[in-house]
């Protein structure tokens, strides 16, 4: 019954948001044009240009950011699957897990501001690389932690690091990509994000089923650590 109320609350909130948007959001009138086949050709040309730019030997930074996004999301998407399973294993009731995340949200509100200051002080390369390696190590500790309190402390550190690096990764991307192909490459990055997330969730399910949570946590942490080394290699000093 408690979970049914949660879904009901989410549905009601979304319904209210829909009514607000319909009431207050203005839509400009636009001219309707016929769909042209040339639009498909232009789209393919743009995608080709983006991939050509991305895999050009001179564009190591853009390619590195794409690789970091892929490996990072591969590790983090699998980690997010592990979290409730490990917390339940350590004795935390499922209905309390959401409360723990709500409390953590209060503590990590400062993370984006901290990340911005550290990135300005040390630069994209050192900040993203070091933070990713630390987060990866903490993920491994979280996976093997025998104590609930240790696991919760690890979660606070992990989510603080993720919130601190999220906007900085986007800033590094914006600084490394020229404006004329930024939108197209940004779309490709979204595809990379989607593929790595889906792949990570699928693979970690198999690993947990056949090898257990311990190995799953180790693999997730190592992927995030590898992401840190990718940042060190790809980003400029």
Cβ proximity of 156 and 109 under 8 Å: no
Could you list the residue range(s) of the whole structural domain that residue 115 is in?
Answer: 68-234
**Domain total in the chain:** 1
pLDDT in tens, 147-168: 999 999 999 999 999 999 988 8
For the segment 207-234, what is each residue's pLDDT rounded down to a tens digit? Answer: 999 998 889 999 999 999 999 999 998 8
- Hey, what long-range contacts does 30-35 have (CB within 8 A, 24 or more apart)? none
Residue 220 lies in a domain: yes
For residues 82 and 200, give the distance between their C-alpha atoms in angstroms, rounded to a whole number. Answer: 11
Task: Residue 79: name the closest of 205, 217, 213 by CA.
Answer: 217
Q: Give a yes or no: residue 15 inside a domain.
A: no
Q: Is the dihedral of CA 7, 8, 9, 14 positive or negative?
A: positive
CATH code at position 192: 1.20.1250.20
pTM for the full predicted model:
0.80
- The reply to whether 59 falls in a domain is no
């Amino acid at each position: 019954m408690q979970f049914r109320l949660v879904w009901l609350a989410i549905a009601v909130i979304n319904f209210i948001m829909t009514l607000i948007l319909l009431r207050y959001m203005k839509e400009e009138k636009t001219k309707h044009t016929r769909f042209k086949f040339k639009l498909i050709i232009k789209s393919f040309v743009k995608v080709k240009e983006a991939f050509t730019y991305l895999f050009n030997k001179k564009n190591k930074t853009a390619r590195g950011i794409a690789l970091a996004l892929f490996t990072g999301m591969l590790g983090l998407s699998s980690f997010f699957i592990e979290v409730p399973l490990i917390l339940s294993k350590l004795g935390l009731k499922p209905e309390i897990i959401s409360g723990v995340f709500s409390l953590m949200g209060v503590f990590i509100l400062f993370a984006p501001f901290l990340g911005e200051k550290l990135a300005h002080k040390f630069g994209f390369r050192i900040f993203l690389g070091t933070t990713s390696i630390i987060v990866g190590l903490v993920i491994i500790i979280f996976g093997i932690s025998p104590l609930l309190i240790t696991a919760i402390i690890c979660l606070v550190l992990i989510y603080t690091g993720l919130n601190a690096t999220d906007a900085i990764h986007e800033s590094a991307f914006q600084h490394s990509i020229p404006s004329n192909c930024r939108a197209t490459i940004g779309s490709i990055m979204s595809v990379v994000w989607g593929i790595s997330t889906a792949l990570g969730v699928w693979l970690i399910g198999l690993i947990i089923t056949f090898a257990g949570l311990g190995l799953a946590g180790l693999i997730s942490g190592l992927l995030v650590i590898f992401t840190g080394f990718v940042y060190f290699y790809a980003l400029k000093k």
